[in-house]
Structure 1
Amino acid sequence: MEVFSVNLTDILYEKADGIAKITINRPKVYNAFRARTIQELIMVFRDAWDDNRIGVVILTGTGEKAFCVGGDQKEKGDEGGYDYSGGLGGGIGLEIENLHQTIRNIPKPVIAAVNGYAIGGGHVLHVICDLTIASETAKFGQSGPKVGSYDAGFGSAYLARIVGEKKAREIWYLCEQYSAQEAKEMGLVNKVVPADQLQQAAIEWAEKILQKSPTALKMLKYSFNADSANIQGITQISMGSLAMFYNTKESEEGKNAFLEKRPVDFMKFRK
């Protein structure tokens, strides 16, 4: 097993037998990501991209509770954006757009092994992955409109390609949570397995993929991506508008209600 030489604080990264495994490692906050988490994810995905010995990537989360629940609300600054040390971050303090493009464009299949809650921005991450295997205990859903946020790019437009327009609108408008079996029935998940079999199931699929032609897989991934490539332009507009929205009282109400553990009050913004 090969270990990445760069010091990583928010994720675990290992490579062995042609498989790169990336684990979001912030279990105390349900694997919510902050700016550093996104930076590290981009870094290791690019490492897996450049390593010709790697044929498939597995993305998962530490523990049994969560895959990823999106942006860490406690890291959200007073000016709306996330506290961020360097880089443009798409205007919101997170290089989330860059991460999405990296996962989509890496010329190797990416398997999401969803071990728990895949909510908000964490839900978008698994949606973008090529394949999703879920634990029976996994939960899926969106939270953006509940906390004064949204992903109007791949998180919505590409989601609609997968589950259909009506279901995608339901997921975003109602912000409810769905079981792994419900997610499979709507085409959001490829396979559901018992919790204690999840990582092995992901490895088994990865091993099957490794037996296939890498060039054929690369071209197939590019072909699958081509149909939804226009969403990248929508994503740029979405992230730009989100940066401005984060500076509003409406978005601040969502963040504060979450942190203060009280009911959110968006009614005043409908006047």
Structure 2
Amino acid sequence: MELTDILYEKKQGTAKITINRPRVYNAFRARTVREMIWAFRDAWDDNQIGVVVLTGAGDKAFCAGGDQKERDSKGYDGSGGLAGGIGLEVEALHAAIRNIPKPVIAAVNGYAIGGGHVLHVICDLTIASDRAIFGQSGPKVGSYDAGFGSAYLARIVGEKKAREIWYLCRQYTAEEALQMGLVNKVVSHENLMAETEDWCRQILEKSPTALKMLKYSFNADSANIEGISQLAMGSLAMFYNTEEAMEGRNAFVEKRQVNFARFRK
């Protein structure tokens, strides 16, 4: 597959996937998601690969979620409707990250916001730069992830904190994320990849079959969320076709204050 939106490299048992759209804070479009799915599946099929790293290009962002400039009332690729969904194969991407029988480490080098925040949540482990910023934005731009992005998040940080993250759309520092159990470790920005590589090395010293079965065991406890996610993505496809959803998107693109008040009448 020709890769334009990501960088993909394999070295000494580690596959590294880098979202390569730094000019838009590594926000993803439909093609970006398809390329990430391809890369995860390639790493899945390669028996020489024992661990996968997901990160973002540049110094500012891990991933800022869906690129709002690519979105309209028919989703991110113009397909719209129930058949086309939201125009992003996010369910397939989330499934690839969760189900690949190898640990996935998110190396968060900057902003992990919106759908980008969901990506790091789904990864098995998260190592954060001390410059990293975490948070949700969906309700601000007329969107949401009512599947793994919320239900699984609640298992990690607790119900109260997860509701705060989604309802208020605040942003949190790496240290705050560490305190709430959202990340495994915080390191200096300059040491992020070295620390990640060290974790990869330690993982590669372990039994691949043991790691695979442990991952499947961890996933089994939250497997029911997949069904919730399917319902959530179906409802999101319909929501995107409303004036309320487009108000959030348009306000973001036009760089103006959003006005959801009229939808409470």
Partner of 1:96: 90
- 1:49 Cα deviation after fit: 0.1
Partner of 1:83: 77
- 1:89 Cα deviation after fit: 7.9
What is the rounded CA distance, in whole Å, between the counterparts of 2:15 and 2:157 in structure 1?
28
User: Helix, strand or coil: the match of 1:112?
Assistant: strand
1:225 matched to 2:222: no
What is the rounded CA distance, in whole Å, between the counterparts of 1:203 and 1:10 in structure 2?
23
Partner of 1:16: 11
What is the rounded CA distance, in whole Å, between the counterparts of 2:256 and 2:60 in structure 1?
23
Partner of 1:250: 244
- 1:80 Cα deviation after fit: 3.2
1:68 matched to 2:24: no
- 1:90 Cα deviation after fit: 5.8
What is the rounded CA distance, in whole Å, between the counterparts of 1:199 and 1:95 in structure 2?
28
1:198 matched to 2:187: no
1:186 matched to 2:180: yes
**Which residue identity does 1:266 align to in structure 2?**
F
8 Å contact kept, 1:184–1:191: yes
User: Helix, strand or coil: the match of 1:32?
Assistant: coil
Provide Cα deviations, 1:171-225, integer angstroms capped at 9, x if missing partner: 0000000000000000000000000100111110000000000000000000000
What is the rounded CA distance, in whole Å, between the counterparts of 1:131 and 1:41 in structure 2?
18
- 1:83 Cα deviation after fit: 1.6
Alpha-carbon RMSD across the aligned residues, in angstroms, is 1.1
**Distance 1:236-1:90 versus aligned 2 partners, 3 A rule:** farther
With the length of structure 1 as denominator, give the TM-score of the two structures. Answer: 0.95
**Which residue identity does 2:264 align to in structure 1?**
R
User: Helix, strand or coil: the match of 2:105?
Assistant: strand
**Distance 1:252-1:186 versus aligned 2 partners, 3 A rule:** same
**Which residue identity does 1:18 align to in structure 2?**
G
What is the rounded CA distance, in whole Å, between the counterparts of 2:78 and 2:201 in structure 1?
37
User: Helix, strand or coil: the match of 1:170?
Assistant: helix
**Which residue identity does 2:125 align to in structure 1?**
L
With the length of structure 2 as denominator, give the TM-score of the two structures. Answer: 0.98
Correspondences of 1:1-271 after superposition (within 5 Å):
6-77=1-72, 79-83=73-77, 91-271=85-265
User: Which 4+ runs in 1 deviate beyond 3 A?
Assistant: none
**Distance 1:59-1:13 versus aligned 2 partners, 3 A rule:** same
For structure 2, list consecutive stretches of 5 or more residues without a partner in the other structure.
none
For structure 1, list consecutive stretches of 5 or more residues without a partner in the other structure.
1-5
What is the rounded CA distance, in whole Å, between the counterparts of 1:204 and 1:235 in structure 2?
33
Aligned residues: 263
What is the rounded CA distance, in whole Å, between the counterparts of 1:164 and 1:244 in structure 2?
29
What is the rounded CA distance, in whole Å, between the counterparts of 2:166 and 2:185 in structure 1?
23
**Distance 1:106-1:89 versus aligned 2 partners, 3 A rule:** farther
- 1:104 Cα deviation after fit: 0.1
8 Å contact kept, 1:140–1:179: yes
